[in-house]
Chain A
Amino acid sequence: MATIEKQGYFPHWSVKTEGIIAPDERLPWGQSILVGLQHVLAMFGATVLAPIIMGFNPNTAIFFSGIGTLIFFLIVGGRIPSYLGSSFSFIAVVIAASGYSGKGLNPHIDVALGGIIAAGVVYAIIGLIVIFTGYKWIEYLMPPAVTGAVVAAIGLNLAPVAIADVSGSQFDTWMGLITLLAVALIAAYAPGPLRRLPILLGGIIGYLIYLLFANGFGFGKPINFTALGQAAWIGLPNFTAPSFHPGAMALIAPVAIILVAENLGHVKAVAAMTGRNLDPYLGRAFLGDGVATIISASGGGTGLTTYAENIGTMAVTRIYSTVIFIIAAVVAILLGFCPKFGALIATIPSGVIGGLAIVLFGLIAATAGRIWVQNGVDFSKSRNLITIGVALILGAGNFVLNIGSFALGGIGTAAFGAIIIYQLLREREPQPEEVVPADAAVVETPSREMEPGAGE
């Protein structure tokens, strides 16, 4: 269904009321707002969890996720439907670069922000290069075997962070397990659309059980609501200015490569779902995401990336209208102006956060399996086995490479390791698995594969 591209910088969204809504079509405004809110819920859990784990302010992070989504929308000319939420790829290096202890607000957030900006700049430059020279070289450098390994390394490298969150006390450990079970049961058994909000609902269930057993029965450290009571309903987000330290910048900047791999997969997944060829916009997508990350980090927000959660929601609703994401972005920005909301988020106990983090980080790692399977990566070939195996251990074991005063963290060594080893072992004549593009960090038909029998 390759329809003729409409002219002009922005498409003229034509109103449509039923069936598949393409990126350049839209629903009536009332329905658009409802679908927009659904996307806010979809991105919410992960977008708020990432800043908490790094000791960033969640209000600021969600505010900038909205701003970033608008910037992305402007730069891709409203052609790619995507929400930009907090990227998890930054967590490990940000914690390492800022020496974050894991409790409360991160006192050295400015150092991390400088590094995130550096990553954003590299990412934006890659975007510009792709705009001018095309994206084939990226597919050549990062075939599915490599992108899968990089994605897996991100999740595995974060594992110790999640485990530390559930290991503060025995009560925290139990709460982590309960939260994890709640998320799993909701994802598999909750009725209809609720099934698509496992992180949000599982988190709420874990939170309520924690309240009952800690605040009610005194089994654990009770949740303290004084800050929530004192917080204002309306107020400006807390902005923090970055400071630039070469060591932190060198540690964090290589994340740009990971964001490229991630975004490449997401854009291809959206293209497959909408039947539109979005390849011409790939460079602009990188540029938009890079610029959004730079702006976000300039004010104390997290690095941003296109969100798979929202791609899943689109696949299920079959509404790909880019207008939806303006609405979702505006709602996120409004949430950023509500300190009460931030204070509520800050009361989530670490055991519950750890339970959610185990599932989320694990899903990142498991997504790699999907990339390999869908692209038919042949695991009987030594070149694939060794590329993937080495990258997994470098990531999971956090292999740090010190070059002079610069350090490359586990995700970076895994990403570069996978790229270099794969190219060294590459077959001279292209094999089918290598000419197939890295077309999915997200399944093309999540309605069937992710949620068996979901409301159809």
Chain B
Amino acid sequence: MATQTTEKQGYFSGWTLKKEGIIAPDERVPWGQSIFLGLQHVLAMFGATVLAPIIMGFDPNTAIFFSGIGTILFFLIVGGRVPSYLGSSFSFIAVVLTATGFASGFKGPGLNPNIGVALSGIIVAGVVYAIIGVIVIFVGYKWVDYLLPPVVTGAVVAVIGLNLAPVAVGEASTSVFDTVMALVTILAVALIAVYAPGALRRLPVLLGGVIGYLVYLLFANAFGLGKAVDFSGVASANWIGLPNFTTPTFNGNAIGLIAPVAIILVAENTGHVKAVAAMTGRNLDKYLGRAFLGDGLATIVAGFGGGTGVTTYAETITAYSCP
């Protein structure tokens, strides 16, 4: 698989058409198939990209809009060399909740009243991240490897998840019905991840979420065992409309709290780029600085309009490995 093809020249690589086998970053399948695969990646990133803004009280429409804008920006900056989707980063959740004093718990999207304060922190984190990217472009990435060896990056990644544990447990503990629904949803995700047929197995968060939602509807709206899902917001919403943009409000404390997330994003992105490099057999180290810069700029742009911080997505990386 480690096909050491010669690198193509030019800022963009110019994609060669190929119909079977491994499709390298600088190759492509015919347009029809390309569209189908693209939709698969939308599904792969969907669950997490939408969940992160909901937990922080951001507008999920705006977040998903900026994840698309961010991905295009990233694509331009890495010259189409690193295949990656940029979705909502979970690394921001804990600090955003602290900085905005937003009591987590699902109260509907867009309800965080201090979102502007969080946005300023996200922008500064993006700036720090982009600066690190520029430094890496000029001096190389060895110092990043030295500062962040696997034992450190692993610890950082574990901390992101564990630090969020009280948020998840808080959501599942508001009532007995909620607790039972959480357990049902966990089981649905687990069973789908292991037993669902073929391609469905790679969408456990999306499908498990849909199953949990339907079971909730049945027991709450139909049988009245829990607080019924309220559809009035859905009915009154338009089919087409502009996303809700929010502007940042600069706040020193929030910036101090949120900016260090840049370091976590560096660790995360390094891991993801190395994973993609290992899978495609291309050495992508020389694009690492550009990947940081691209991700940083995408985060800045998202922060200016009310989106979440974005990061390269592990979910879509696994979707390449089993097409």
Residues of A at the B interface (CB closer than 8 Å) are 156, 159, 382-383, 385-387, 389-390, 392-402, 421, 424-425
A396/B179 contact (C-beta < 8 A), A383-B194, A386-B189, A424-B191 known:
no
Contact yes or no, B168 A382, CB < 8 A? no
Which residue of chain A is the closest to B194 with respect to CB atoms?
A425
Once the chains are docked, how many angstroms separate the CA of A290 from the CA of B199?
A: 48
Chain B residues within 8 Å of A397, by CB: 165-170
- 6 other contacts beyond A392-B161, A393-B165, A398-B169, with CB at 8 A cut-off? A159-B162, A386-B190, A397-B166, A399-B172, A424-B190, A425-B194
Residues of B at the A interface (CB closer than 8 Å) are 161-162, 164-170, 172-173, 176, 179, 186-187, 189-191, 193-195, 201, 204
Which residue of chain A is the closest to B170 with respect to CB atoms?
A397
Chain A residues within 8 Å of B190, by CB: 386-387, 390, 421, 424-425
Which residue of chain A is the closest to B169 with respect to CB atoms?
A397
Interface-central residue, A156, A382, A402, by most chain B CB under 10 Å: A382
Contact yes or no, B179 A401, CB < 8 A? yes
- With both chains docked as a complex, state the minimum distance between the C-beta of B28 and any C-beta of chain A, in angstroms: 27
Once the chains are docked, how many angstroms separate the CA of A198 from the CA of B25?
A: 50
- With both chains docked as a complex, state the minimum distance between the C-beta of A420 and any C-beta of chain B, in angstroms: 9
A393/B191 contact (C-beta < 8 A), A156-B162, A401-B179, A402-B176 known:
no
Once the chains are docked, how many angstroms separate the CA of A393 from the CA of B204?
A: 17
Contact yes or no, B172 A396, CB < 8 A? no
A393/B168 contact (C-beta < 8 A), A382-B204, A400-B173 known:
yes
A425/B165 contact (C-beta < 8 A), A399-B172, A401-B179 known:
no
Contact yes or no, B161 A425, CB < 8 A? no
Contact yes or no, A392 B162, CB < 8 A? yes
- With both chains docked as a complex, state the minimum distance between the C-beta of B312 and any C-beta of chain A, in angstroms: 19
Of the A-B pairs whose beta carbons lie under 8 Å apart in the complex, a sample of 30, sorted by A's number, is: A156-B162, A382-B194, A382-B201, A383-B193, A386-B190, A386-B193, A386-B194, A386-B204, A387-B190, A389-B161, A390-B186, A390-B190, A393-B161, A393-B164, A393-B168, A395-B165, A396-B166, A397-B165, A397-B166, A397-B168, A398-B169, A399-B169, A399-B173, A401-B179, A421-B187, A424-B190, A424-B191, A425-B190, A425-B191, A425-B194
A396/B193 contact (C-beta < 8 A), A382-B204, A402-B176 known:
no
Once the chains are docked, how many angstroms separate the CA of A395 from the CA of B162?
A: 9
Once the chains are docked, how many angstroms separate the CA of A396 from the CA of B173?
A: 14
Closest CB pairs A-B (n = 8): A397-B169, A397-B165, A396-B165, A382-B193, A393-B165, A425-B194, A396-B162, A386-B190
- With both chains docked as a complex, state the minimum distance between the C-beta of B91 and any C-beta of chain A, in angstroms: 16
Which residue of chain B is the closest to A417 with respect to CB atoms?
B186
- With both chains docked as a complex, state the minimum distance between the C-beta of B155 and any C-beta of chain A, in angstroms: 9
Which residue of chain A is the closest to B195 with respect to CB atoms?
A425
Chain A residues within 8 Å of B164, by CB: 393
Once the chains are docked, how many angstroms separate the CA of A30 from the CA of B9?
A: 78
Once the chains are docked, how many angstroms separate the CA of A394 from the CA of B179?
A: 12
Chain B residues within 8 Å of A395, by CB: 165
Contact yes or no, A424 B172, CB < 8 A? no
Chain A residues within 8 Å of B172, by CB: 399
Once the chains are docked, how many angstroms separate the CA of A405 from the CA of B172?
A: 19
Chain A residues within 8 Å of B170, by CB: 397
Q: Select which of A387, A392, A402, A421 is within 8 A of B165 by beta carbon.
A: A392
Once the chains are docked, how many angstroms separate the CA of A387 from the CA of B201?
A: 16
Chain B residues within 8 Å of A400, by CB: 173
Chain A residues within 8 Å of B167, by CB: 397
Which residue of chain A is the closest to B171 with respect to CB atoms?
A397
Once the chains are docked, how many angstroms separate the CA of A389 from the CA of B162?
A: 10
Chain B residues within 8 Å of A401, by CB: 179
